[in-house]
Chains A and B, each alone.
Chain A
Amino acid sequence: MPFPGEVVKVTYDIDVVVDRFSDHIFRAAYAYLNDAHEAEDVVSEVLMKYFSCCESLDITSYEHLKAWLLRAAVNRCKDIVKSARFRRTAALEDVHKAEFKYSDAELDVRRALDSLPEKYRIIVYLYYYEEYKTEEIAQIMGLPKGTVVSRLDRARRQLRTALADYGEEMSI
């Protein structure tokens, strides 16, 4: 992270943007949709959007760019969930395990996460993985901050119930 005032280049270079942000977009979309293939599509759609208008956006830092991309991804996910063609298929656990090398314990957590409604899941992702503040999550999601806080707390309660078997070893 550069220091304030440092001169850096915010590049429109495809390689840089894909390297730095594609995984973040993918994870956010995956957290929301729980469907790796749909999430891949979201990544390509969001980046297509970005490059088609990047020079018209006043994006001043990588952090800002990331927030822009995540917000675009979240909006796209909302539309996908609303659209008729999105069928809520049960997650294929084998895909998770093979592709992302989850341990059994992690699979259980993954299942617990999957059991959350998507609107909670994305907040859990943004808070715990991207480490955004609730205020920022509220911006990205277009929600009041209080809603973000209460959804986060509720998601946590649900996770605790779902992972009760693990007792203390995996306190969520």
Chain B
Amino acid sequence: MSVIKDIYGKAELSHEKKAELRRTLKESFPQYDHTDTGRTEVVIMENERIDNTGGRAKVRSKFKTGIAAAAAAALIVTVGVSAVKHMDIGTPSAGSQTGYIDDRNSPYYQQAKSIYNSMAETLADYEVNGYSYNHLVETAGFEITRDDILEARSTAIVRREGSEIQAIELADSLDKIAARDGIDLGEIDFRIDFSHWSYNLVYYVFVYPDASHESFYSYPHYDESLYDEPSYEESELDRQARAIYNSLAEIMANCETRGVSFEDDCSVINRDSVLLAKTAGYDGEAIMSEIINGERELGFVSAAEVAALLDASDGHEFDLIEVDFEAVINVSSMTLEYVLVYEDSAHTNACIYPKDGEDTVDSTDDETDNEYTELVNEIALCMLKVSIDIEYDGDKLYVDSGIIDRDTVLKSRKVKIDHEEGKVSGLEYAMLLDYAVKDKGLDLSKIDFTASFDPGKRRFDLNSLTVYPDESHETYYRYHDDYEPEDAYELTYTEADAEVLYEEADQLFQSYISAGKTVSAETLDTLEMWHTIFNEGKYPANHNEDLIRMVDFYNHLPAVSSIAASMNSGRPDSYIIEFSSNDGETATGIRSVTVKYIIDGKGAEFTYRPENISVPNVIGMKYTEAEELLKKSDLTVALETVPDDTAEPGSVIDQSIAPESEVEVYTEITLYIAADNTAQ
């Protein structure tokens, strides 16, 4: 795929753009202007990519509490939090937002909507005048409130062209536009929150119905996911509920992938189950190893056993006996519904995990984070890559490629594999795949897998890739491809057709030449020609002797009928034979053959063009020997005599194309022969 790599590699920022970028950044962040200012940080570079760190960056604790810091600091923190948050790396966002009232008919909601629209108009005004949102967001402090409006009304605001826009100025502009629409912002207790705007282009207008700000209305509809509950505010009970939930989810996933089901009494797992397990002396680790090793004969676990598993799992640091919890499971669908941790013995209050609206673990999803699912995907991708590489090198998989599995891979490591030009055997494929997988840090010889070959597609079929978790092969993971096949009518053997046709055309051409005929170098499309001849009953208007021979030529090609008979997907619509020529009129050979099809309204064409050939060195040879050798090499020979006293008469003293040059077949090569007094 180096083509794609080259293309993207060529797209780059110009030097001017980079210089401009540097200038802008340095103006905004002078503290990062030069190297070795003492602001550089010495860290241990871990030579690992994001998969090993989970792609998670941590926000240091000082920033977690820094939200209420000075305005400038708050700006940076908020930008940081906003950016980090959007990266989905689990950072807290400012402020609790409980008390949202979702009443679209309320006048407060209407007010929020009107303010939103006025703000949109204000921003559009600025944009029209050439101010970008950077001018606004960076300085507007991420929010505008009634206080800003009131302050703006008592302040004289003068706009200097191009300067950054202060919150108070934005408030002033907003106030004027709102006033025009008959809204007095000084009378409304509102807050416009821009903290998510820089990324989402969404800002929120909150309107508070009372001075306590305990409840609020929002326009647009308040999206709670933007204000995830910060994890550090999670209570002890919340944390316990989450830990139990996660451990249990893991246990369920483990059981499910190994074909172990929960008995009906597992619909509720609680402290009593744990007590029962302890009393009965269940050993969670022993049960888990039974499950993992496939030794659970009946394939079921009871509630007490699940509790034992839960107790033995290392997802929690607390003693389960101490926690009054209840996990609710849908046994028939093997779904973990939720986990409750009760605050008091009367069970009046409880913490629940997951909270409403949070994603629940969907164990029916095919793309769960199961290690085998990932493994299958990883191998599938390596197969894809190997197939691409093979095709890119112009090679083909051949039917003998058969099935590859762990044994093939082991064999490929032991035997010497010779590459045959244009063909890739199963063993060679296994070797290539082995290397590709090794690059991903996996060892194919330790993975029990099989993949079979689809001769129709001439590639390893990803959908036949199967990985077995255990020796019994009773369960397996298969690559799951979720797309509709777009090329179900894929042609078979078409590329080979072009090659066969080429060889037969070449033979025919040689027979014409040896019979003393000449062939026009004009490249014609058979379809066009036959159409004219048979439908209109005449040769094309510009026909000449050579053209008639051309028609003759096509009609004598035995491959035309043999290919049509062997095709299982339809007769080719036309052949295009391209001749090589020295003078543009007389053909010296056949350069390429193209076979065209139209099937189900879609066109496809395949061209066969022989590889270039290397010019042999004939200097010093007798002319006749040289000519024979060149003709054998599919080159066309021309002759020129030059006076030369030193060389033997009749021998080749030079050739027009240097030895070892790569040329197309039937290229004309001129031999310079030492003049001989006796030669004509």
B residues 359-377 touching A (CB-CB < 8 Å):
366-367, 373-374, 377
Q: In the complex, A12→B39 CA distance in Å? A: 7
- At the interface, yes or no: B84 with Cβ under 8 Å from chain A? yes
- At the interface, yes or no: B663 with Cβ under 8 Å from chain A? no
- B55: nearest chain-A partner, CB-CB: A139
- Determine if A109 and B4 form an interchain contact, defined as CB atoms under 8 angstroms apart: yes
Contacts of A161 in B (CB 8 A): 486-487
- At the interface, yes or no: A15 with Cβ under 8 Å from chain B? yes
Interface-located stretch among B11-19, B563-571, B579-587, B664-672: B11-19
Q: In the complex, A67→B46 CA distance in Å? A: 14
Complex partner residue of A68 from B6, B63, B87, CB under 8 angstroms: B87
Contacts of B394 in A (CB 8 A): 168, 171
Interchain nearest-CB distance for A66 vs B (Å) = 9
Interchain nearest-CB distance for B533 vs A (Å) = 27
Interchain nearest-CB distance for B191 vs A (Å) = 23
Interchain nearest-CB distance for B39 vs A (Å) = 6
Contacts of A134 in B (CB 8 A): 377-378, 381
Q: In the complex, A53→B41 CA distance in Å? A: 15
Interface-located stretch among B73-81, B155-163, B310-318: B73-81
Q: In the complex, A86→B391 CA distance in Å? A: 38
Interchain nearest-CB distance for A163 vs B (Å) = 9
Contacts of A147 in B (CB 8 A): 367
- A13: nearest chain-B partner, CB-CB: B35
Interchain nearest-CB distance for B611 vs A (Å) = 11
- Determine if B22 and A15 form an interchain contact, defined as CB atoms under 8 angstroms apart: yes
Interface 1/0 per residue, B70-95 and A, CB below 8 Å: 00000011011101101110000000
A residues 115-171 touching B (CB-CB < 8 Å):
124-125, 128-129, 132-136, 139-140, 142, 144-147, 149-150, 152-154, 156-157, 161, 164-165, 167-168, 170-171
Interface 1/0 per residue, B44-63 and A, CB below 8 Å: 11111111010101111001
Interchain nearest-CB distance for B20 vs A (Å) = 8
Q: In the complex, A37→B12 CA distance in Å? A: 12
Complex partner residue of B3 from A31, A136, A172, CB under 8 angstroms: A172
Contacts of B17 in A (CB 8 A): 40, 43
- Determine if A153 and B388 form an interchain contact, defined as CB atoms under 8 angstroms apart: no
- At the interface, yes or no: A7 with Cβ under 8 Å from chain B? yes
- Determine if A23 and B1 form an interchain contact, defined as CB atoms under 8 angstroms apart: no
Q: What number of B residues sit within 8 Å (CB to CB) of A?
A: 87
- At the interface, yes or no: A89 with Cβ under 8 Å from chain B? no
Interchain nearest-CB distance for A118 vs B (Å) = 14
Knowing A26-B13, A146-B377, say if A13 contacts B46 (CB, 8 Å). no
- At the interface, yes or no: B679 with Cβ under 8 Å from chain A? no
- Determine if B199 and A79 form an interchain contact, defined as CB atoms under 8 angstroms apart: yes
Knowing A22-B18, A40-B17, A57-B84, say if A7 contacts B44 (CB, 8 Å). yes
Contacts of A99 in B (CB 8 A): 14
- At the interface, yes or no: B542 with Cβ under 8 Å from chain A? no
- Determine if A12 and B21 form an interchain contact, defined as CB atoms under 8 angstroms apart: no
Knowing A22-B21, A31-B8, say if A53 contacts B83 (CB, 8 Å). yes
Interchain nearest-CB distance for A50 vs B (Å) = 8
- Determine if A53 and B76 form an interchain contact, defined as CB atoms under 8 angstroms apart: yes
Complex partner residue of B21 from A18, A62, A136, CB under 8 angstroms: A18
Q: In the complex, A100→B7 CA distance in Å? A: 9
Knowing A30-B11, A106-B3, say if A133 contacts B606 (CB, 8 Å). no
Interchain nearest-CB distance for A67 vs B (Å) = 5
Complex partner residue of B481 from A3, A50, A142, A153, CB under 8 angstroms: A153
Interchain nearest-CB distance for B418 vs A (Å) = 22
Q: In the complex, A10→B40 CA distance in Å? A: 7
- Determine if A100 and B377 form an interchain contact, defined as CB atoms under 8 angstroms apart: no
Knowing A56-B59, A129-B9, A156-B388, say if A8 contacts B51 (CB, 8 Å). no
Contacts of B377 in A (CB 8 A): 134, 145-146, 149
Complex partner residue of A152 from B7, B9, B76, B381, CB under 8 angstroms: B381
Scoring B4, B22, B40, B44 by chain A CB atoms within 10 A of each residue's CB, the highest score goes to B4
- Determine if B10 and A102 form an interchain contact, defined as CB atoms under 8 angstroms apart: yes
Interchain nearest-CB distance for A140 vs B (Å) = 8
Interchain nearest-CB distance for B481 vs A (Å) = 6
Contacts of B44 in A (CB 8 A): 5, 7, 60
Complex partner residue of B59 from A2, A57, A79, A154, CB under 8 angstroms: A57
Complex partner residue of A149 from B42, B48, B134, B381, CB under 8 angstroms: B381
Contacts of B440 in A (CB 8 A): 133
- Determine if B87 and A16 form an interchain contact, defined as CB atoms under 8 angstroms apart: no
Complex partner residue of B200 from A2, A15, A79, CB under 8 angstroms: A79
Knowing A27-B8, A147-B367, say if A58 contacts B26 (CB, 8 Å). no
Q: In the complex, A124→B34 CA distance in Å? A: 35
- Determine if B32 and A51 form an interchain contact, defined as CB atoms under 8 angstroms apart: yes
Complex partner residue of B45 from A6, A19, A22, A52, CB under 8 angstroms: A6
Knowing A15-B35, A51-B29, A168-B394, say if A136 contacts B9 (CB, 8 Å). no
Counting contact residues on chain A (CB < 8 A from B), the size range is 35 or more
- Determine if A53 and B84 form an interchain contact, defined as CB atoms under 8 angstroms apart: yes
Complex partner residue of B25 from A47, A56, A79, CB under 8 angstroms: A47
A residues 46-89 touching B (CB-CB < 8 Å):
47-54, 56-64, 67-68, 71-72, 75-76, 79, 82-83
- Determine if B50 and A67 form an interchain contact, defined as CB atoms under 8 angstroms apart: yes
Contacts of B373 in A (CB 8 A): 146
- At the interface, yes or no: B600 with Cβ under 8 Å from chain A? no
- Determine if A56 and B60 form an interchain contact, defined as CB atoms under 8 angstroms apart: yes
- Determine if B47 and A61 form an interchain contact, defined as CB atoms under 8 angstroms apart: yes
Contacts of A45 in B (CB 8 A): 134
Contacts of A62 in B (CB 8 A): 45
- At the interface, yes or no: B270 with Cβ under 8 Å from chain A? no
Contacts of B486 in A (CB 8 A): 157, 161
- B29: nearest chain-A partner, CB-CB: A51
Contacts of A54 in B (CB 8 A): 32
- At the interface, yes or no: B515 with Cβ under 8 Å from chain A? no
Contacts of B527 in A (CB 8 A): none
Contacts of B55 in A (CB 8 A): 67, 71, 136, 139-140
Q: In the complex, A133→B380 CA distance in Å? A: 12
- At the interface, yes or no: A92 with Cβ under 8 Å from chain B? no
Q: In the complex, A2→B169 CA distance in Å? A: 50
Q: In the complex, A41→B180 CA distance in Å? A: 34
B residues near A (Cβ < 8 Å) are 1, 3-14, 17-18, 21-22, 24-26, 28-29, 32-35, 39-51, 53, 55, 57-60, 63, 76-77, 79-81, 83-84, 86-88, 134, 198-201, 366-367, 373-374, 377-378, 380-381, 384, 388, 391-392, 394, 440, 462, 480-483, 486-487, 495, 604-607
In the complex, the 3 A-B pairs of residues with the closest C-beta atoms, listed nearest first: A53-B80, A171-B391, A146-B367
A residues near B (Cβ < 8 Å) are 1-16, 18-19, 22-23, 26-27, 30-31, 36, 40, 43-45, 47-54, 56-64, 67-68, 71-72, 75-76, 79, 82-83, 99-102, 106, 109-110, 113, 124-125, 128-129, 132-136, 139-140, 142, 144-147, 149-150, 152-154, 156-157, 161, 164-165, 167-168, 170-172
20 other contacts beyond A2-B47, A50-B83, with CB at 8 A cut-off? A4-B46, A9-B43, A11-B41, A18-B22, A27-B8, A51-B28, A56-B77, A58-B58, A60-B43, A60-B53, A64-B53, A76-B199, A106-B6, A110-B7, A128-B8, A139-B50, A140-B50, A152-B384, A168-B394, A171-B394
The 24 sampled A-B contact pairs (Cβ below 8 Å) are A1-B47, A4-B45, A4-B46, A7-B44, A9-B41, A9-B42, A14-B33, A15-B35, A18-B22, A47-B21, A52-B83, A60-B46, A64-B57, A100-B11, A102-B7, A106-B10, A109-B3, A129-B4, A129-B8, A145-B367, A153-B384, A153-B483, A171-B394, A172-B1
